[in-house]
């Protein structure tokens, strides 16, 4: 048998069972071996039948005292029962249609059984347990994820045969020196012991090895992507002194902004296209950094495109870039979906002629059919987590422009190693001078009136504010819209009577949203009530208070984003988190918001609370799904693998010295193609 043979090469696997395996993504024998247990049953931890908790899974150890003759209940259903006694009590073991298991059980012999004990008041029963003879010495057995029709026992039997037949074919692909330095067991040992460990220690070192493989492969794949991008830049540029640009700004750049600009400028003047991510906390001034990059491009006769996730942001960036760049003789344009066809065509013509130097717009508009005279720089402003779209951007071919992504969500440093392994990163970890941390209070709904009273005081002082409406369960936005409207009307009639209140929600047309935002920016609207689609990234320095309903439903990083709408100017600002869920856990989580103001620190906490699996949500990261490693619990392994990857690339920049490793990394890249890591 070969490791690449179809799963049907295993005995007992015909078309029907193969189809079940296919459902789990298992096609061949090698795939089966890579179907790692999700946990183990430890048969050494037995409980007395008399003490076994009802409706919970337990391991019991007892003698078969009686085998009850098979009962045919109906066509296709035969029930086999045996009585097992351990001296404390006895229970009935029930096996459905499993003559094989029934016949294997011998009377007066002792077994260990794992299963759910039922029947608190009646006779105790255990249905379809997993059973091993008591004299068995390997007491740690795998638990697999299964699918309807595929039992644990089937997988165990097939796995045993697969490992017996092909384990010699399992190749070592990690070079010896790396294996020794990082104290890794062999691949073959790991593959056998992850399934049927000799001891819990064996299971642990196998898991570490396989997790190492997984994280190392991702980093090697990213390293190869990075190496593959070493084509010549379409637009190499000449360095300029940033002071010239800074002179036109209404403020001085912060040290962190200057450092990011230096890194970007140096990339843009290099031989290969820039692939850089700017990670900056909310309000750290990423737009000014983007403007600096556009300025350098324009000074070098190249055009720049700045793409935003929403129209409101595209327009805001347009206004900002215009104010920074037009005094320097740079022509800024904007392209949005709500423009008429005629207007769009006009802008597009100016892009083609080169009349417009810098264009802002939404992702779709700029990437679609727009042609440039000489596009040298593409920037995306990403308000959400870095994801698949951005990786697509980096894979973008054509004129080989320099690429820059600005991410507003700090990612814990440990994770950025793997998430952004293919990119260079600049971090803006400093806020402009004079910013005061936003005072944050978490209160229950009982204090809502007082909170609104506080909002009112801010409005009376000439400031502005936001209220984020309660989240409601329905997925369709209509209900949410109703709720937001009702909420806005209620406060307009009640606590905030006489103030000008605007409403922003996801069902509005872009032009309508723009109009509301424009009125808010101009101060015509004092208080903006918004559904959860609030446009993060919106910059209105006069806004000093944000009140967030259902705050317990948000992740900490999200709350930090929302809170970042205030505290953007010279005024002291506040954030009021309202929750009707007063559990200690919720309160503890929200208290973190009161004490932490640094997005990176908050992201660490968020990761701690939610764990690696949930941190990114629906595969937002653009990474292949992890089978065995966990980005939170395996932080140490992450560090080790990133170090190992560095060593490998240092020794062999295209990994050609390590052909087996290279082959695996390439396979990962191809598998994940444009959807995944590209």
Stretch that binds Mg ion, among 121-129, 361-369, 504-512, 533-541 (CB under 5 A): 533-541
SS3 88: coil
**Where in 424-453 is the site for Mg ion (CB under 5 A)?**
none
Q: How far is CA 167 from the centre of its chain?
A: 34
Stretch that binds ligand ADP, among 16-24, 285-293, 303-311, 333-341 (CB under 6 A): 285-293
Output the smallest distance, CB 484 to ligand ADP, in A.
25
Asked if 286 interacts with ligand ADP (CB under 6 A), we say yes
Contact yes or no for 304/377 (Cβ under 8 A): yes
- Minimum CB separation of residue 292 from ligand ADP in Å reads 11
Residue 636: Cβ within 10 Å count: 10
Q: Is 251 in the site for ligand ADP (CB under 6 A)?
A: yes
Residue 654: helix, strand or coil by DSSP? coil
Structural contact between residues 409 and 557, judged by C-beta atoms closer than 8 angstroms: yes
Nearer to ligand ADP by Cβ, of 336 and 561: the residue is: 561
179 versus 286: smaller Cβ distance to Mg ion: 286
Q: By three-state DSSP, how is residue 196 classified?
A: coil
CB 63 within 8 A of CB 110: yes
| Residue (257 or 426) nearer to ligand ADP, CB | 257
CB of 293 to ligand ADP, least distance (A): 13
CB atoms within 10 A of CB 514: 19
Out of 31, 246, 535, 539, the only residue in the binding site for ligand ADP (CB under 6 A) is: 539
Q: Which of 286, 325, 186 is nearest to 539 (CA)?
A: 286
Rg of the chain over CA atoms, in angstroms?
31
For residues 426 and 634, give the distance between their C-alpha atoms in angstroms, rounded to a whole number: 25
Adjacent-strand bridge partners of 402: 377
Part in contact with Mg ion (CB under 5 A); list of ranges 198-206, 300-308, 532-540, 612-620: 532-540
Give the one entry of Mg ion, ligand ADP, none that residue 257 binds, where binding means its C-beta sits below a cut-off of 5 to 8 angstroms depending on kind: ligand ADP
Region near ligand ADP per CB under 6 A, out of 171-179, 286-294, 361-369, 637-645: 286-294
What is the three-state SS of 156-193?
Answer: HHHHHHHHHHHHHHCCCCCCHHHHHHCCCCCHHHHHHH
Nearer to ligand ADP, 236 or 541 (CB): 541
Least spacing, CB of residue 619 vs ligand ADP, in Å: 26
Residue 257 tokens read as 């902004």
Between CA 224 and CA 235 the distance in angstroms is: 23
**Considering the complex, what minimum distance in angstroms separates the CB of residue 291 from ligand ADP?**
9
Could you tell me the smallest distance in angstroms from the CB atom of residue 284 to Mg ion? Answer: 9
User: What distance separates the 2 farthest-apart alpha carbons in the chain?
Assistant: 95
Q: Are 109 and 103 in contact (CB under 8 A)?
A: no
465 near ligand ADP (CB under 6 A): no
Whole-number Å distance between alpha carbons of 611 and 200: 24
Q: How many residues bind ligand ADP (CB under 6 A)?
A: 18
- The piece of 242-250, 410-418, 487-495, 535-543 that touches Mg ion (CB under 5 A) is 535-543
**293 belongs to the binding site for ligand ADP (CB under 6 A):** no
Show Cβ contacts of residue 461 under 8 Å, excluding neighbours closer than 6 positions: none
360 or 414: CB nearest Mg ion: 360
Q: How far is the CB of 389 from ligand ADP (least distance, A)?
A: 18
How many angstroms separate the CA atoms of 525 and 523, rounded? 5
Among positions 503-532, residues that touch ligand ADP (CB under 6 A) are none
Q: What is the DSSP letter of 508?
A: S
Instruction: Pick out residues in 255-284 that bind ligand ADP (CB under 6 A).
Output: 257, 280, 282-284
Q: Are 300 and 237 in contact (CB under 8 A)?
A: yes
Which are the contacts of 97, defined by CB distance < 8 A and separation ≥ 6? 76, 77, 78
Among 37, 197, 211, 285, binds ligand ADP (CB under 6 A): 285
Which is nearer to ligand ADP, 282 or 351 (by Cβ)? 282
Query: Quick one: what does residue 624 bind among Mg ion, ligand ADP, none, with the CB cut-off 5 to 8 Å set by partner type?
Result: none
Q: What is the dihedral of CA 131, 133, 137, 143, to 10 degrees?
A: -10
Count, residues in the chain? 678
The smaller minimum CB distance to ligand ADP, of residues 69 and 434, is found at 434
**Closer residue to ligand ADP (CB): 191 or 256:** 256
Q: How many CB atoms lie within 10 A of CB 526?
A: 23
Listed ranges 190-198, 207-215, 252-260, 597-605: which one lies at the site for ligand ADP (CB under 6 A): 252-260
Closest to 305 in 3D by CA, of 237, 217, 367: 367
Q: Which residue is at the shortest CB distance from Mg ion?
A: 537
Residue with CB nearest ligand ADP?
285
Q: Is 287 in the site for ligand ADP (CB under 6 A)?
A: yes
Nearest Cα to 116, choosing from 197, 200, 53? 53
Can you tell me which of 537, 569, 599, 612 binds Mg ion, judged by CB under 5 A? 537
Binding site for Mg ion (CB under 5 A): 537
Binding site for ligand ADP (CB under 6 A): 251-254, 257, 280, 282-288, 408, 432, 539, 541, 568
């Amino acid at each position: 048998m070969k490791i690449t043979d179809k799963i049907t090469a295993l005995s007992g696997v015909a078309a029907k069972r193969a189809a079940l395996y296919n459902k789990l993504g298992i096609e061949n024998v090698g795939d089966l071996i890579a179907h790692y247990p999700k946990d183990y049953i430890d048969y050494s931890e037995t409980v007395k039948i008399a003490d076994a908790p009802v409706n919970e899974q337990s391991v019991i150890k007892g003698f078969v005292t009686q085998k009850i003759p098979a009962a045919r209940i109906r066509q296709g259903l035969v029930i086999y029962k045996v009585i097992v006694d351990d001296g404390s009590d006895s229970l009935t073991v029930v096996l459905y249609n499993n003559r094989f298991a029934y016949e294997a059980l011998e009377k007066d012999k002792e077994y260990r059984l794992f299963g759910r004990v039922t029947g608190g008041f009646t006779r105790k029963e255990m249905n379809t347990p997993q059973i091993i003879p008591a004299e068995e010495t390997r007491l740690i057995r795998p638990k697999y994820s299964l699918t309807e029709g595929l039992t644990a026992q089937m997988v165990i039997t097939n796995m045993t045969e697969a490992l017996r037949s092909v384990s010699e074919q399992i190749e070592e692909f990690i070079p010896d020196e790396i294996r020794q330095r990082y104290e890794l067991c062999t691949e073959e040992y790991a593959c056998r012991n992850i399934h049927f460990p000799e001891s819990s220690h064996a299971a642990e070192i196998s898991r570490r090895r396989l997790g190492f493989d997984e994280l190392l492969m991702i980093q090697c794949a990213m390293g190869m992507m990075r190496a593959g991008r070493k084509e010549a830049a379409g637009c190499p540029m000449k360095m300029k002194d940033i002071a010239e640009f800074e002179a036109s700004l209404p403020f001085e750049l912060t040290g962190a902004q200057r450092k990011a600009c230096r890194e970007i400028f140096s990339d843009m003047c290099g031989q290969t296209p820039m692939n850089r991510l700017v990670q900056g906390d909310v309000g750290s001034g990423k737009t000014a950094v983007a403007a600096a990059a556009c300025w350098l491009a324009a000074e070098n006769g190249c055009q720049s495109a700045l793409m935003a996730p929403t129209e409101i942001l595209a327009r805001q960036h347009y206004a900002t870039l215009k104010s920074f760049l037009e005094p320097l003789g740079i022509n800024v344009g904007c392209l949005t979906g709500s423009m008429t066809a005629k207007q769009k065509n006009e802008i597009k013509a100016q892009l083609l002629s080169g009349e417009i130097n810098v264009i802002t717009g939404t992702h779709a508009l700029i990437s679609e059919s727009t042609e440039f005279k000489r596009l040298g720089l593409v920037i995306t402003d990403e308000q959400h987590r870095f994801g698949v779209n951005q990786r697509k951007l980096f894979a973008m071919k054509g004129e080989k422009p320099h690429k820059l992504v600005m991410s507003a969500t700090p990612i814990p440093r440990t994770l950025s190693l793997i998430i952004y392994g293919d990119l260079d990163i600049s971090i803006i970890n400093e806020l402009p001078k004079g910013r005061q941390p936003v005072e944050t209070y978490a209160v229950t709904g009982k204090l809502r009136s007082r909170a609104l009273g506080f909002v009112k005081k801010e409005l009376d002082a000439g400031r502005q504010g936001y209220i984020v409406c309660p989240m409601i369960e329905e997925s369709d936005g209509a209900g949410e819209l109703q709720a937001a409207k009702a909420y806005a009307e209620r406060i307009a009639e009640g606590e905030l009577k006489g103030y000008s209140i605007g409403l922003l929600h996801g069902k509005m047309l872009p032009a309508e949203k723009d109009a509301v935002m424009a009125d808010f920016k101009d101060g015509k609207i004092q208080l903006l009530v918004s559904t959860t689609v609030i446009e993060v990234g919106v910059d209105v320095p006069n806004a000093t208070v944000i009140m967030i309903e259902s705050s317990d439903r948000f992740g900490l990083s999200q709350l930090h984003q929302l809170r970042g709408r205030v505290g953007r100017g010279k005024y002291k600002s506040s954030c009021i988190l309202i929750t009707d869920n007063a559990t200690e856990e919720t309160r503890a989580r929200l208290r973190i918001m009161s004490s932490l103001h640094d997005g990176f620190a908050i992201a660490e906490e968020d990761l701690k609370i939610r764990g690696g699996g949930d941190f990114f949500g629906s595969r937002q990261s653009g990474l292949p799904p992890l089978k065995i490693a966990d980005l939170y619990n395996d932080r140490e392994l992450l560090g080790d693998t990133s170090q190992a990857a560095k060593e490998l690339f240092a020794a062999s920049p295209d990994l050609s010295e390590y052909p087996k490793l290279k082959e695996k990394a390439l396979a990962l890249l191809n598998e994940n193609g444009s959807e995944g890591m590209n």
